[in-house]
Amino acid sequence: MIRVAEGSISGMTTAKIAITVPEDVLEKARLSVRKGSARSLSAYISRAMEQKVMLDDLDSLLAEMLDASGGPLSASEKQEADAALGLSHKKRRAR
């Protein structure tokens, strides 16, 4: 039986690595672990890496979808969309 705990699959093959991180980031991660957000610093970092991999996968998927739909909107298409939404060109730039 495979059990999922804190985003990891129990019994999954793991690898030990050495990483270098800014001290302030490390201290914030340690504080989060002390507050109970993960069972260990390794679990905390593993979960963060899993989330980054998911975001990278999503970025790739969105890029593929954009490419399949003809690419980003042209300047004139953006202006047309703004006009349809009742936005002036100046308001769009101010955002």
Q: Is 65 a residue whose pLDDT tops 50?
A: yes
User: Are 14 and 49 in contact, with CB atoms under 8 Å apart?
Assistant: no
pLDDT average, residue stretch 85-89? 83
Amino acid at 54: M
In angstroms and rounded to an integer, the radius of gyration of the C-alpha atoms of the chain is 22
Structural domain containing residue 12: 4-94
Q: Tell me the pLDDT band of 12, cut-offs 50, 70 and 90.
A: confident
Amino acid at 69: S
The model's pTM is 0.63
H/E run at residue 4: strand 4-5
**Domains in the chain: how many in total?**
1
